[in-house]
Structure 1
Amino acid sequence: MLVRFSPPASWWRVLSTLLIALGAALACVGLHTPIPWMIGPLVVVSLVSMVGVPTESWTPLRNTGQWVIGSALGLYFTPEVGALIAGLWWAVVLGVIWALGLGLGFGAWLRRLHAGRLAGVSAEQLRITSYFSGAIGGASEMTLIAERQGARTDLVAAAHSLRVLLVTVTIPFAMQIWGVAPLDLSTLGVREVHPVGLVSLGLLTLVGALVMQRLGRANPWFMGALMVTLLFTLADVQFSAIPGWLSASAQLLIGASLGVRFTPAFVHTAPRWLASVGVASLVMMGLCAAFAWGLAQLTGLHPATMILGTSPGGIAEMSITAKVLQLGVPVVTAFQVCRLVAVLILAEPVYHWWSRRRLT
């Protein structure tokens, strides 16, 4: 299995972007912000990119970050935790149904708000664009599906990017203000770093990531590493913990890769569209928090865990938040993974059902 790495357009831009990200992360560490190694690079790289500073992220570096984080999260799935999550299957199903319904509502609101107000976008194209902009799934995957249906992909990608940015920045600060105490102090099965075991884990998870990539699965570097580590940890096979410096580096790479999406062109992409997406994203966070609170009462789990598990953010970003703040990592990861898979599978069928329903 060959892995082809295309060189970046400019090594200098990649290096300067990483240096900006590192400086931002260190500043956030000094300021004691939540999730400093991801939020710092994400926010600062986004800002400098939007004002026109040439930034660039190299895809293999982003993949490496996802590979490391996926491996680290899988270590939380001990046999005891696996049994706990298996008993929560009904809550996971409710979470998926909630996400699909919320996405439909978000998309319908966008369509009504912008009907006849987006130059060059027909009513049919707006219907497709608004639906896939509202779907709570992976940004790249939703954009690709939307493209097949004839949507304005720039608007879809912009909507997902802005939503993930707002959720990733807002929720960790809300958790810090809340002052919720760590919940995972006794759940991590592997605590010590063993060099030989770390290398073995790295090779095994690399194979898993490459297989996922070959099969064309979503987020292959994250999901492949997560699944391999998860299965070994469930079987009580322990290799090694992930060093803190490696996890922090991975967060930096992911934060920087998200930040470079926010170019000057992004800022000028239908400002009214972006403003409406921003407002709707904040409303969605509030609705998801209320839903999570109710789910917490039914499951007996901490509301913070449920908020992260049901929030409309990206799977890697919400799982990293749970990991760093130690707020129920296995449950958050399970909810986010199941939702992502379900939305990717159901997005197009639900869209066709929704379209037929409107025509009848």
Structure 2
Amino acid sequence: MPAFGPTSWRRVVITLLLALAAALLCVWLRTPIPWMIGPLLVTALVSMLGVPTESWTPLRNTGQWVIGTALGLYFTPVVGALVASLWWAIALGIAWALLLGLAFGAWLRRLHAGHLAHLTPAQLLSTTYFAGSIGGASEMTLIAERQGASTDLVAAAHSLRVLLVTLTIPFALQFWGVNGLDTLTLGPREVQATGLLVLASLTLVGALVMQWLGRANPWFMGALVVTMVITLCGVTWSAIPQPLSNAAQLVIGVSLGVRFTPAFVHTAPRWLASVAFASFFMMGICALFGWGLSKATGLHPATLLLGTAPGGIAEMAITAKVLQLGVPVVTAFQVCRLVAVLVLAEPVYRWRYRQT
């Protein structure tokens, strides 16, 4: 592990101060999810301009730990029963995401077959397939590397897609004027010091176990699963302090923003342009799919829009949490899709393309 010297510390501190200023500005401007949107935007912009920014991994992990715990508190027994009754809709959402990823990858391959001459046919196939899969950037990039894909193109595609979805959908929902749809009991509302300490200890163990097992997003998923189990049993020890939740959103926004370096800007402009176009197209058809599911389930379209959106799980769940748009349903849809894509992406690739 590389040394974390004074230069890195200065970069981290300066990046955090810049992110904090942007978050406070967004709070003043009343933008949606200001504590994540502000840091994400300013960090991405200054990083692309060549300003040396840096995200400290332990801070990012802590942010995911806090957010995973906060989301798990929404899964009360009543809410858990509601989510369980939607198993068929969640299954449809998974199938939709897999088919959409296949279509996206096939479109990228056809579009760029003549423009990525440095890739062999096999590399082009694996690169476009894993770039199109609707999964996490780091996880998809690691899987793609095993299949000989061009990892810089895969990582760029996922990073840009998540950025565009994270910036577009919250503003669209704010323009729509929807918020505060959660009417069921949403877990504890008061912070209890002893209960918070116990909850933090147990969720830390869950995160470390997930990390030891090599699972994706261990700090988020470990905390989420442990808190869900506790809350589903009817145990409510403490709420998460709002300043802590805000700080978690800030460091998650920074961790996304620092990916957009000057090198990213120069990564195959035609490739990035096609990914941007496809991302907006996917947001549109996913919104239509979510609207159809809302008619079938009776849930508000905004909840299903977030649940089926092709963004990152933490970002979409944070949007649902801040705007109170069916947090447990959105979280369940996004978590199940993430797990399914991570488990099935590589087997589907081998089954679908190894003979072509």
| Equivalent of residue 91 in structure 1, options 89, 92, 98 | 89
Runs of 4+ in 1 over 4 A off after TM superposition: none
1:7 and 2:8 matched: no
For the residues of structure 2 that align with 1:17 and 1:317, how far apart are their CA atoms? 20
> Partner of 1:261: helix, strand, or coil?
coil
Which of 319, 338, 341 is the aligned partner of 2:339? 341
How far, CA to CA, are the matches of 2:30 and 2:3 in structure 1?
Answer: 37
| Structure 1 residue 120: Cα displacement | 1.2
The code of the aligned residue for 1:35 comes to: I
Deviations 1:41-88 (A, max 9, x none): 001100000000000001000000000000000000000011011111
The match for 1:111 among 104, 109, 117 is: 109
Task: Give me the whole-angstrom Cα distance separating, in 1, the residues matched to 2:227 and 2:354.
Answer: 42
Cα distance in 1, alignment partners of residues 169 and 200 from structure 2 = 31
SS at match of 2:264: helix
Partner of residue 315 from structure 2, selected from 314, 317, 320: 317
How big is the shift at 1:335? 0.4
1:35 equivalent in alignment to 2:33: yes
Q: TM-score normalised to the size of structure 2?
A: 0.98
Q: Matches of 1:156 and 1:27 in 2, distance apart? A: 33
How many pairs does the alignment contain?
355
Q: How does 1:150-161 map to 2 (within 5 A)?
A: 150-161=148-159
**Matched-pair contact (CA < 8 Å) for 2:79–2:184:** no
Segment of structure 1 superposing worse, 18-27 or 347-356: 347-356
Once the two structures are TM-superposed, the CA of residue 5 in structure 1 deviates from its matched residue by: 10
Asked if 2 retains the 8 angstrom alpha-carbon contact of 1:185 and 1:326, the reply is no
CA distance in 1, matches of 2:2, 2:299: 43
Q: For the residues of structure 2 that align with 1:198 and 1:324, how far apart are their CA atoms?
A: 20
Structure 2 unmatched runs, 5+:
none
In the alignment, which residue of structure 2 is the partner of 1:66?
A: 64
SS of 2:179's equivalent in the other structure is coil
Asked whether the 8 Å contact 2:290–2:301 carries over to 1, the reply is yes
Identity of aligned residues (%): 75
State how far apart, in whole Å, the 2-side matches of 1:5 and 1:183 are.
46
Residue of structure 2 equivalent to 1:327 = 325
1:122 Cα deviation from its structure 2 partner = 1.7
Q: How does 1:174-253 map to 2 (within 5 A)?
A: 174-253=172-251
Cα shift at 1:356: 4.2
Aligned mates of 1:309, 1:120 — CA distance in 2: 38
Quick check: 1:141 aligned with 2:142? no
**How much does 1:280 deviate?**
0.2
Structure 2 residue aligned with 1:25:
23
Distance 2:271 2:179 in 1: 38
> How far apart are 1:183 and its partner, in Å?
1.1
User: C-alpha separation between the residues in 2 aligned to 1:317 and 1:288?
Assistant: 16
Shift of 1:121: 1.3
Pick which of 227-236 and 116-125 moved more.
Answer: 116-125
1:5–1:60 contact (8 Å) kept in structure 2:
no
What is the identity, as a one-letter code, of the residue corresponding to 2:331? T
**1:119: how far off?**
3.8
Matched, 1:79 2:77: yes
2:295 counterpart residue number: 297
* Deviations 1:214-250 (CA, angstroms, capped at 9, x unpaired): 0000000000000010000000011100011000000
Distance 2:312 2:2 in 1: 25
- Determine the C-alpha separation between the residues in 1 that align with 2:235 and 2:3: 36
* Cα offset, 1:252, TM superposition: 0.1
The aligned amino acid for 1:147 is E
CA distance in 2, matches of 1:267, 1:276: 14
Code of the aligned partner of 1:348: E
Structure 1 pair 5–53 and aligned structure 2 pair: CA distance change class (3 A): closer
CA deviation digits over 1:5-29, x for unaligned, max 9?
9636610000000011001000000
